[in-house]
Every structure is written in C-alpha cells, then in structure tokens.
Amino acid sequence: MAKRKTKFVCQDCGYESTKWMGKCPGCQNWNTLVEEIEAEPAGRKRGFVTGGKRTAKPEPITTIERTEEERISTHIKELNRVLGGGIVPGSLVLVGGDPGIGKSTLLLQVSATLSERKERVLYISGEESVKQTKLRADRLGIGNDQLFVLAETDVEHIEKVIEEMNPTLVIIDSIQTVYLEGVTSAPGSVSQVRECTSAFMRIAKTKGIAIFLVGHVTKQGSIAGPRILEHMVDCVLYFEGERHHTYRILRAVKNRFGSTNEIGIFEMKEAGLEEVLNPSEIFLEERSSGAAGSAVVASMEGTRTVLVEIQSLISPTSFGNPRRMATGVDHNRISLIMAVLEKRVGMMLQNHDAYVKVAGGVRLDEPSIDLAIAVSIASSFRDSPTAPADVIIGEVGLTGEVRRVTRIEQRVIEAAKLGFERVIIPEKSAGGWTAPEGIEVVGVSSVNEAIEVTLGGISSGSPTFEL
C-alpha cells in the first residue's frame, strides 16, 4: 500500500509547501498553513465530476454561430441591474457577505420569484435542516411546489439529484460546507473549496443550469478560501452594509456578462429584503441643515446616479502627528486633497485632525467626489456651513484646478428631481447641454473659486432645505 503524502496548504491564498512555515510566502500572512493529505489521483476521476473523456475539437472562430441566450429575469430589479439584466443560464455566481447580512434571505426570495413562474428551483442547504429552511420561508411568505429544498453536503449526491431534477436554478448554501469524498481534507479547506467549485462549474457549463454559491467572508471582508475561487466563477457579488442597520448594498466585483460598476440597494424588513428604488432620498433624509462640514455630491454607480452626503470634521490635534481617518472613501485621497488645500488655498491643516465620512454606509471611489470632499473639509475648517440646496461635482488636480467629469447632465437632472436649487460643476463641463428648469448651474475652474462660491457670504442662519 502506497504511503500517503502530506502537504501544507495556505488557507488564504492556496500556496502549497512540503513543510510547515509560520509565514506564508504567497500572501505574507502568519499561521495560515494547514497540513493536508494529498488526494489520490483516482479519487478525482469518478462519476460526473470529471465529465468523462472530451471529444471536442478546435474550430475557427469565424465558423462558430453566435446565439443570444435569453436571461432569466428574477423580477427583482435591483438584482437584475447588478447581474447585467438577469441570470444567464449556465452561469456560476458567487455571493459573499458577512454573517446575518441577508445572503440566504435574498437567494430564497429569488427562488420564490422563479418558482412562481413554474421554473424548477433546487435550494441546497448545508447549514440548516429542511425544517429550518421551511421556517424561514414561512416568515418570508414563500411557498410553491416548484421550489425544492435539500439538506445535503455530499457533492456526488447533489450531482445525482441535479441530474434527476434538471432544475433551472440551483443554490448552494454554502460552498464551505460541501465536500467531495475523493478529497481527504476537511470541508471548508482550500482543497475542498477548490474541487467542489470546479465540480459545480462543470455541472453549470455542461447542463446549462445557473448555480448560485454562498461564500463566507473573512475578518478582512474577502471571501474565505483560495483566491482562485473568485477566478473560477462567472460573477462575484458582495453583500455590504452594517448588520445592525436596515440598508444593504449588493455590488458586483466581477461579472463576465455585465458591468462591475452597478450596485443594488435593499432595505431589510420583517418580510424580507425590499428594493430601494430611489436611494438618494434615503441617504439624504437625515441630513442636518446649517451644519458645517457637510456637502452633497452626485456620484455615478454604473448607470445610476446616487446623491450622498460627505461629512468632514476638522479639529486641532493633541498629538505631534495629526490623524487622518476616512470612512467610505480612500484614505490616501483625503491626504492628497488636504495637501492641495494647504498648498493652493492656504489652509493650515497640518496641525489638525481630519475625519471624513460618506453618510449612509456607501463607498465612493470615482474622481468626481474630490471637489465635494475639499469643500466639506474647508467648511469644517472655517466653521462655515454650505448652502443646503447645493450639489458639488468635480475632480481636483494637484495644481488646484477642477477637472471635467463624465455624465454631468445625468447628475444635474437627478439633483433637480430631488429639489436642489444649485449645482457647482467644472467649468469645462458646463457647455454643450441644457440644464433642467429650476436649478442653477455654476461652473468653477479651481478649488479656490469653488470654496468662494459655496462658502462665501453664507451664515449659519441659512434657511432650511427640505428634500
């Protein structure tokens, strides 16, 4: 009998070594290498997992017929937006998020919408029994004879059930709980997650069945398991938001069939997740008028315009090195903008702590928010509030200039819909289009000019502005 070989595998990046090391050479993390027994070659060549021998031959790309596959609409507009228009048959989608954020709830609601249209759906739970899943379905008001529930963790048995049922959609909750008998490591390990995902990928591609995988996340917020897991699937969705708040953001970080810039916004209620059709009103509904350090920006998330509030707090530091903290924006961008304000505007911020936050738990990463951040910092530093009816849009350069941004007309139209009266935009973006009625468009060419327009002559007794 051949001696079984062992290896040490990093549980974060999948790096393999013949000996144990305290620090992984691949991802530089400590204490992540775990001993695993190498699987026998024959253990991976059983049943439908390998799909048998391949007989396909290469052919010229010009002779391949192009067919447009119809997407499966989930009747959840926010999810359809993130997926690029609906579920693509034969696709493998990975959904990640913190525990209790609403991943299982969302997928159970998706199952309900499809089963109501007589589409067969198979929901496989590796963490709950069928009775526990039934209790959650009753709480959400879900019940249909086309929705099948299975509590199973053996991938080979799951494959047999899928072949017998031939469903339209399969949901695996979660990928860290299922296992293959041919792989000797424990469920949730790097080897098991990789091999199980590979098995489900073959099922999806050969059978044309859409499969959703639920993935746990680490303390750093990334999906647990090797990085190759995200490379294997067609689409990676992250469910974001504070568990103790009601609003959730569904974001695509990888999508082979659509854009990765789209977001879907939901509100967690007693009856499940409900779509938020106008997120700007929610992000601005608690905004206080007349407060220094507040500015509203119109940001683009894919094809959607979202108006959010940027808050800044500038206070004298009590230590030698001032603190720079940011929530919802890149920390390095705050340091860059503050350097521009010091050099080009003359604000002595080097002895002040700076705290910048995007209200509502949204994360913004596009350049058009630079000018709103600069104005909010200047507003807090001077203790002079901005006008409640202003929206500020623009990218800031290192020389203090305000650079043009894309889709300016769409941003201004969204601001006008919410009742704002003035929008400050880059001067180069002010021409070539017509502003809607009821809103004033002001073009600025520098940060100095923008601060003068927004903060000059405004007192703390400004009239309140109702959204």
Distance separating alpha carbons of residues 197 and 176, to the nearest angstrom: 10
14 annotated as a binding-site residue: no
- Report whether 101 belongs to an annotated binding site: yes
Positive or negative, the CA dihedral 328, 333, 339, 340 is: negative
131 is in an annotated binding site: no
Q: Check the annotation: does 91 bind a ligand.
A: no
- Measure the CA–CA gap between 251 and 236, rounded to whole angstroms: 9
User: Burial, 187: exposed, middle or buried (Cβ in 10 Å; 0-12, 13-18, 19+)?
Assistant: middle
Tell whether residue 432 is among the known ligand binding residues: no
Q: At what angle do helices 155-165 and 190-207 cross, to 10 degrees?
A: 10
Number of Cβ within 10 Å of residue 158's Cβ equals: 22
Residues 188, 153 contacting (CB under 8 angstroms): no
Q: Which long-range contacts (CB under 8 A, 24 or more apart) does 137-144 make?
A: 137/108, 137/112, 139/271, 140/105, 140/108, 140/109, 140/112, 140/271, 140/272, 141/271, 141/272, 142/108, 142/109, 142/111, 142/112, 144/112, 144/115, 144/116
Phi, psi (deg, nearest 5) at residue 68: -95, 110
Residue 384 in marked binding region: no
Binding residues for ATP, as ranges, are: 97-104
Binding residues, as ranges, are: 97-104
